[in-house]
Chains A and B, each alone.
Chain A
Amino acid sequence: MDLSTAYDALGADLQATLSLWLIVLGGLIVIVWDAFRERDALIPVFAGLILVGAIVWDLFQLTAEPATAFYGLIRTGGFAAFVNLLLEVSALCTIVLSVPYLKRIGKDYAEVYGLVLFAVSGMMLLGAANNLVTIFVGLETMSICLYIMAGLVREDEGGIESALKYFLLGAFSTGFFLYGIALLFGSTGSMYLAEIGHAASTSTSAMYWSGVGLLLVGFLFKVSAVPFHMWTPDVYQGAPTTLTGFMSTASKAAAFASLILVLFYAVPYEKWTLAVAVIATITMVLGNLVALSQRNVKRMLAYSSIAHAGYVLVGIVAGSAEGYAGALYYLLVYTLMNIGAFGVLALMEWDNESGRTQSLDSLAGMGYTRPFIGVAMGVFMFSLSGFPPFGGFLGKYAVFAPAIKAGYTWLVVVGVIASMVSAYYYLRVLYVLWMKDSTDPAAMSNDKRVALTVPASSTAVIGFCAVLLLVFGVYPEFLQMAVDFFSPSAVSIAP
């Protein structure tokens, strides 16, 4: 047997997916490192360096030709590199923000950094999958790491609630997902997205549509779209704040990227759009309306993340190259906004219960004592509500404009009204931070807020997110790049 061609192919595949292997290897090293030298301070530094290496590699891959690796199981090239970059940046920011935060709450386990790396590797598989089995493996790798992270504070009832709810509901959604995969395979005879799409373009059966429906349930659960959103507020509220930021951004981005691939390659366009449009509508409306009445900022941001899932779905409903690219771009700016907002929140948190019991009023006047992160929070909140010139505005434009072009004007009207409503609860955070004094002298005397310090590393990450949001708000280079991922020529190269 001559295996030289197989080895050549293996070498080329390993090279094309190098960032993935770098991160997996980094995670394994972190685990062994921690086993021998528990809570070594250098472990997060090492994990961060691994991610920096992966980011550099993927920056060069952005312009690579689209292709597949490992016998068509996984995509490489521009789209994959774009999603990978998003995930890696999110993970890097999370690690830098988590080091001082976890030390403060006394949970500075080094396993967290291993889990973040493993979760990112799962997300990268998920976001670049070309095969239903790859999607499933990636989804599970990601989810299991996130379940553990949600329950990191295992002595706190909120942490337990968070982890248990996430785990049980996640297990159910996995069941739906797996059944959907089985039905799709049964009706089309293939696990490859393009082949499924090819079989579906000639004829579709009830079995095929049941499979698509169950698959959608699994995806919409992971991106917390209404009516599969019930877990989101409780899970986000109970998890450690910086890790909540990671959960709400990277896992959603990966699941959305995978959903885009599935809908783009495996499902004929006309049939699913109305269903997704209806889900997008109720997601936007319910997420924003319920966020209005939240007193806890983490819970409010959880409902806001539900609403943002709705905006991304609007871009997907458009179904054009611009629409998918807009969804990807929205995920990029959403990741920066949310990581930054949760990072600021982690710095303003002083109740020793991961901010679970803190009301919005407990942050009163904190903008004056910590002006830099106060201003940064202003950037994130304005961007989340979609104010120009921040990234959030351009992101919203990028998802809404293609939807109008595709004839979904009513959907966009709902979206714009919903995001106008959202301005109320986003800007109320700024009102409390800057325009309200904590005048109660009794509260001031035993004020734990005074003792809170702002580490330089966290400041740097938050500043980085804020500056990048401004850049993405005025310089839409990445948006144009994302459009090219779905151009007919790119699709024809890598079916």
Chain B
Amino acid sequence: MLQTFFPLFLQLLMAGGLALTLLLGAKYLGPKRPNLIKRQVYESGMDPVGSAHQRYSVKFYLVAMIFIVFDVEVVFLYPWAVTFKDFIAAGSGLGVLAVILPFIAILAIGLLYDIKKGGLDFDS
């Protein structure tokens, strides 16, 4: 069992070894001439100003949460939608529609609550 994975271990070892060799090589072989500008934090060419420990609004998380909810909804709806045609052909389309509607209604209520409470209002 373990022997079949031997090439994999070998590859892991080589990947780790290569990274380590390059880092250590750069550390011991490379020239080091530091100055003030070089030792600054890299900020895409800007001067880093102020502390990094600042409070800022995380409104984005609300959008991300809503996105996940509707993402999951799609996961549920896809298999339902694929088989829905067969049910229509069999004449029980309305009943199957009635089964999925509460699910969508609950999600819609959640979205409604979110909008009314200002969850999507970025300015406030």
Contacts and interface: CB of A to CB of B under 8 A. Distances in A.
Nearest to A32: B109
B9 interface: no
Given A1-B86, A1-B87, A35-B116, A28 B109 contact: yes
B92 A3 contact: yes
A31 B113 contact: yes
Contact of B112 (A1, A2, A3, A35): A35
Given A1-B87, A36-B116, A31 B109 contact: yes
A1 to B, nearest CB: 4
Chain A interface, >50% SS class: helix
A109 to B, nearest CB: 11
Contacts of A7: 95
Interface residues of B, number: 13
Contacts of A3: 87, 90, 92, 95-96
Interface string A1-42: 111000100000000000000000000100110111000000
B117 interface: yes
A31 B119 CA distance: 14
B106 interface: yes
Contacts of B116: 35-36
A36 B113 CA distance: 8
Given A34-B113, A36-B116, 16 more contacts: A1-B87, A1-B92, A2-B90, A3-B87, A3-B92, A3-B95, A7-B95, A28-B106, A31-B109, A31-B110, A31-B113, A32-B109, A32-B113, A35-B112, A35-B113, A35-B117
A116 B112 CA distance: 20
Contacts of B110: 31
B120 to A, nearest CB: 13
B13 to A, nearest CB: 30
A188 to B, nearest CB: 25
Contacts of A36: 116
Contacts of A2: 90, 92
Contacts of A31: 109-110, 113
A275 B93 CA distance: 54
Lowest 10 A-B CB distances belong to which pairs? Answer: A35-B116, A1-B90, A35-B113, A3-B92, A31-B113, A28-B109, A32-B109, A3-B95, A35-B117, A7-B95
A401 to B, nearest CB: 46
A1 B85 CA distance: 12
A3 B96 CA distance: 9
A3 to B, nearest CB: 5
Interface string B80-106: 000000110010100110000000001
Nearest to B115: A35
Interface string A283-325: 0000000000000000000000000000000000000000000
A9 to B, nearest CB: 13
B96 to A, nearest CB: 8
Contacts of A1: 86-87, 90, 92
B58 to A, nearest CB: 15
A3 B86 CA distance: 12
Interface string A152-170: 0000000000000000000
A1 B89 CA distance: 9
Contacts of B90: 1-3
16 contacts: A1-B87, A1-B90, A2-B90, A2-B92, A3-B87, A3-B92, A3-B95, A7-B95, A28-B106, A31-B113, A32-B113, A34-B113, A35-B112, A35-B113, A35-B116, A35-B117
